[in-house]
Amino acid sequence: MNHRPTARAGSVEIIKVERLSKQYGSGANSLRALSDISLSVSEGQFVTVVGPSGCGKSTLLLILAGLVSPSSGDVWIDGAAVTGPLPEKISVMFQEAWLLPWKTAVENVEFPLMLRGAPFAIRRPRALSLLQLVGLEGFANRYPGELSGGMKQRVAIARSLVQEPRVLLMDEPFAALDEQTRTRMGNELLQVWEKFGRTVVFVTHGLTEAIYLADFVFVMSARPGRILERFHVELPRPRTIEMIGNEAFGRLRNRIWHLIGGA
């Protein structure tokens, strides 16, 4: 469970989206959320998605997760068309951690395995090792109400990895955290990703965060959302905070800022 696929350089296509459009509702009340989105993500990559508020980022993620159906177009994950949720292949994480308050941290992490009927002797050690991975080994028996916002998000990260999904979809998972915690969580997520080697699609409003984390940044237009451009972030890994001050980092940030329509 801890090996990055050898396809890091990007040869095996794990996510493929072709000519995807989404319209909510019909008639006078209809709203075009996404228009003609095509994209491809290779296995093991960390990609981020940025765009103006309301441009359809969450919609795109929900469609990738099989939780919302597109109006037209196709989505394939790992070679299979997505027609509904695939919890064993795809994990989704949202801004709120959505932990079960009456269960401890370790019980929350193992919950998806419990639903699948995995015996205690299998699920408990796996949940504990994931809690260790996210730096919460001392908090396994604490309830969510006893944890800080950042700790809850770490529990949620551990839970989203427990089924060893091929793809992790994250919708502004750190948006509710203060800036320092958010930066720390970004670094921790990168460390987990380095060890785990899964494909991550991460939606964010933060351009710095988007560049810092990603191999590729997808930039979307205002609604109806289209992909305006895909930027390759050529900074070496592991990423360090100092890189944010680099000229190349600043240039890329400016380009994306102007593309999105910043002043």
Least separation in angstroms between CB 169 and ligand ATP: 12
Look at residue 31 and give the partner it binds from Mg ion, ligand ATP, none, a contact being a CB closer than 5 to 8 Å depending on partner kind.
ligand ATP
Whether residue 203 contacts residue 58, with contact meaning beta carbons closer than 8 Å, is answered with yes
Torsion of CA 41, 244, 53, 55, to 10 degrees: -30
Look at residue 56 and give the partner it binds from ligand ATP, Mg ion, none, a contact being a CB closer than 5 to 8 Å depending on partner kind.
ligand ATP
Least separation in angstroms between CB 91 and Mg ion: 17
The amino acid at residue 188 is E
Q: Which is nearer to ligand ATP, 34 or 99 (CB)?
A: 34
Q: Which is nearer to ligand ATP, 165 or 224 (CB)?
A: 224
CB neighbours of 186 closer than 8 A, spacing ≥ 6? Answer: 174, 209, 212, 213
Q: What are phi and psi of 143, to 5 degrees?
A: -90, 155
Residue whose C-beta lies closest to Mg ion:
58
Q: Which is nearer to ligand ATP, 222 or 244 (CB)?
A: 222
- Residues in contact with Mg ion by CB under 5 A are 58
Q: Is the dihedral of CA 107, 108, 113, 116 positive or negative?
A: positive
Least separation in angstroms between CB 219 and Mg ion: 15
**How far is 142 from 102, CA to CA, in rounded Å?**
10
Least separation in angstroms between CB 255 and ligand ATP: 20
Output the CA–CA distances (angstroms, integers) from residue 1 to 5, 16, 23, 78, 241, in the order listed: 10, 24, 38, 18, 28
Q: Which is nearer to ligand ATP, 51 or 112 (CB)?
A: 51
Q: Which is nearer to ligand ATP, 55 or 185 (CB)?
A: 55
- Residues in contact with ligand ATP by CB under 6 A are 24-25, 31, 33, 51, 53-59, 223
